Chain A
Amino acid sequence: MNARQELLDQIRAIEFMTVDLNLYLDTHPCDMRALNEYNMYTQQLMALKSQYERQYGPLSNFGTAINQGRSWRWIEDPWPWEQDYWMEEC
């Protein structure tokens, strides 16, 4: 597994915590422990995403991430469903 994939897996794991806590908080909006956990994971996630985006281009578009570099990096392969690219890059 290459460094890019490893970082993306880390992002996925932390973001999964925020997704699951988000759904829990939707029906338990006053649970302070869950709120604190949500904020803690969100902070970690924001840091990891900006680290990823500096190296590999934006993870999201429409004004949610700065495009760093001299071309529009959003269109760069691979797209998430393209397993073959992940396998080739080592």
Chain B
Amino acid sequence: MWIYEKKLEYPVRIKNPNPKMAKYIITQYGGPDGELAASLRYLSQRYHMPIPEAKAALNDIGTEELAHFEMVGAMVYQLMKGASVEEIKEADAGGYFADHDSGVYPSTGTGVPFTAAYIQSKGDPIADLHENLAAEQKARATYENLIKLADDPDVIEPLRFLRAREIVHFQRFGEVLEKIEEYLNSKKYF
């Protein structure tokens, strides 16, 4: 069961529309290293975790990623809201506009729709944890690229928050991997 909380994890208050930035940021909504992929990845993998620490960490990080999915969606929504068709054309976001108007649709910045092929759930906790460590680094790198592309502090601040969370999640997954290895070695699994 999940309970919705009627607030964002970190505030998103973007005053100026910027369809170009929306087009860049959408990849963290529905792209390969985005928040939807992250959440589905961890929430699907948790069933096969062998120890309590791992089940809890995947469950809870997967849940926090849903809050990030919402933040990124809010950023895209606010960046598109109030932009004129002229501005959308200038931002080269006409292709997106033709398909979705200013709707928020999970896809990459180049319009590739979300697919579960972005994630793996291997049924093998060691393989899954290594995927997750890489996923957090790839998401961190994507946020760093987005921060380089942004010039509005209203956009940069939530991106910096999201980047920092990837680093914390990477740290927690590293600890989980260590504990799983200890557990498997103690069972003489190999």
Contacts and interface: CB of A to CB of B under 8 A. Distances in A.
Interface string B15-51: 1000000000000000000000000000000000000
B3 to A, nearest CB: 5
Contacts of A58: 6
B77 interface: yes
B10 interface: yes
Contacts, number: 76
Contacts of A83: 12-15, 74, 78, 81
Range class of the B interface residue count: 20 to 34
A88 B179 CA distance: 50
Contact of A8 (B7, B168, B172): B7
Given A81-B70, A81-B74, A81-B78, A26 B60 contact: yes
Contact of A26 (B7, B10, B70, B172): B172
A57 B118 CA distance: 39
Given A26-B57, A29-B53, A84-B81, A16 B7 contact: no
Among A19, A27, A60, which residue has the most Cβ atoms of chain B within 10 A?
A27
Contacts of A27: 53, 57, 172, 175-176, 179
Given A26-B53, A27-B179, A29-B53, A80 B172 contact: no
List of 3 A-B pairs having minimum Cβ-Cβ separation, nearest first: A81-B74, A27-B175, A26-B56
Given A60-B3, A81-B77, A83-B14, 14 more contacts: A19-B9, A19-B64, A23-B60, A26-B56, A60-B5, A60-B6, A61-B4, A62-B4, A80-B6, A81-B12, A83-B74, A83-B78, A86-B13, A87-B13
